[in-house]
Amino acid sequence: MKIGFDAKKYLEEQSKFILQRVNDYDKLYLEFGGKLFFDLHAQRVLPGFDENAKIKLLRKLKEKVEVIICVYAGDIERNKIRGDFGITYDMDVLRLIDDLRSNELDVNSVVITRYDNQPAATVFMNKLERRGIKVYTHSATKGYPTDVDTIVSDEGYGKNPYIETTKPIVVVTAPGPGSGKLATCLSQLYHEHMLGRVVGYSKFETFPVWNVPLKHPLNIAYEAATVDLKDVNMIDSFHFDAYNEIVVNYNRDIETFPVLRRIIEKITGEESVYKSPTDMGVNRVGFGIIDDEVVKEASRQEIIRRYFKTGCEYKKGYVDLETFHRAKLIMEELNLKAEDRKVVIPAREKGARLKVESSKNETCSAVALELDDGTILTGKSSNTMDAAAAVILNAIKYLAHISDEIHLISPVILEPIINLKSKTFGSKITALNCEEILIALSISAATNPMAQVAMDKLSMLKGCQAHSTTILNTNDEQTFRKLSIDVTSDSDYSSHSLYYNN
């Protein structure tokens, strides 16, 4: 893989800049946008970026940092799913707490925002408190966003409980957007000011990258990633007016800046030090780019991946037609085609051949996978295993130099698993998925040395690209994710079944 980003340089630059910002205050509330852990989008568009760069940055500053986690009560109530992990937001909060603790970072508390006695949110609050986690609830802010006098009063932020913090940097993070991070920061600023403390607010948002051009593929890839939120990159007019410098921000930050600045000025009683929304940020990611052409190409590939993802989400009913059309327009803006992703054509050609050979009037599943050396392998669905499992087996056999004719898993192992699914569990889908095949392979490895050799090659699939001609089932998606394979799918189901195709 070609490297376009210097992770070490970025880490040094970012930590230095945050510390400079902290020096201006007794305490800094730092709103963290994006993902604290496993920022796979950043890793894909910035080859060389460490997916856990943010958490390593916080570990470097751990003596000065504590963390508040926000989650919107409405997201708990409707079981909102975090797409990259396939888990609900409340479960992601639990995962986040565990991960922060394992990295020696202090978790101060969890804030359930816009709480209005939603039953599921109350159950989650009880669960946290009974495990020793401090929980606060914030209601919707009266008067927000226009009535600043009410917002900054006992009827607004004053109604929220004050969260006791002890360290100079308070990181405010969340499972996803719309979780109430900004409101929590501003509520804390209000209470801190009432206590006579000098505190500040800053925002750590990796994308869009303010110091690369507006129409750079890196910034357009951010629009593709947030297509469901309707985020649009714009020139920060406030920054240009203040400094005569062209920088990039996104519509929501620019639109809310005048109100945000007025709220901060109302809280502090002083003119804001920030002249623009870009001023509020502490993002130095642009200074880590060392090969712009590599970053551009990686960003184009990410835009194509996001197009496929949005198409599948539309087919599943998760997004509307307008969102899908917007993803398509972003592709057209850069003259990109689905076929510009190398694994798409081999997968579709394999699928087309299978359909000609098959007598069934259904879409034939095929998956193509590109290895690091550029080799593209394919797998097809069968009665024994699905196409995703087949391509994984084919890939590790290739990497282990094992003939395609050799069976790594004995029928003695496969048949009892298939029988268990069909006869005991009553499943109508008996073909084994990725996880089941890999478990069977690990059992075979106990007595078959070649199976063990193949198993040892699984780590070599990290960062590989794959494409499926049909929408992958949830299990296969999660297994590919665990193997760190970037997979896309055409927006077709593998059969006409409604219930068994979820």
* pLDDT tens track for 215-234: 999 999 999 999 998 999 99
CATH number of the domain enclosing 246: 3.10.630.10
Confidence of residue 429 (pLDDT cuts 50, 70, 90): confident
User: 132-171 pLDDT, tens per residue?
Assistant: 999 999 999 999 988 999 999 999 999 999 999 999 999 9
13 shares its domain with 127: yes
Asked if omega into 177 is within 30° of 0 (cis), the reply is no
352 shares its domain with 488: yes
348 shares its domain with 231: no
CA atoms of 466 and 422, how far apart (whole Å): 29
Number of domains in the chain: 2
Instruction: Give the structural domain span for 384.
Output: 343-501
371 shares its domain with 439: yes
Percentages of the chain per state (helix, strand, coil), in multiples of 5: 50, 15, 35
CA atoms of 128 and 309, how far apart (whole Å): 33
pTM across the whole model: 0.91
Q: By the 8 A CB rule, do 93 and 101 touch?
A: no
Where among 265, 288, 311 does a domain terminate?
Answer: 288
358 shares its domain with 250: no
User: 255-273 pLDDT, tens per residue?
Assistant: 999 999 999 999 999 999 9
Q: By the 8 A CB rule, do 39 and 51 touch?
A: yes
* CA count, 13 A, side-chain hemisphere, 379: 27
Give the full edge-to-edge strand order of the sheet including 465-468. Answer: 376-380, 366-370, 465-468, 486-489
Q: What is the pLDDT of residue 197?
A: 92
267 shares its domain with 352: no
CA atoms of 385 and 21, how far apart (whole Å): 55
Residue 288 has pLDDT above 80, yes or no: yes
In a domain, 307, yes or no: no
CATH number of the domain enclosing 410: 3.40.140.40
87 pairs with which residues across the strands? 82
Asked if omega into 208 is within 30° of 0 (cis), the reply is yes
Buried residues in 419-430 as b, exposed as e (16+ CB within 10 A): eebeeeeeeeeb
Where among 288, 315, 330 does a domain terminate?
Answer: 288
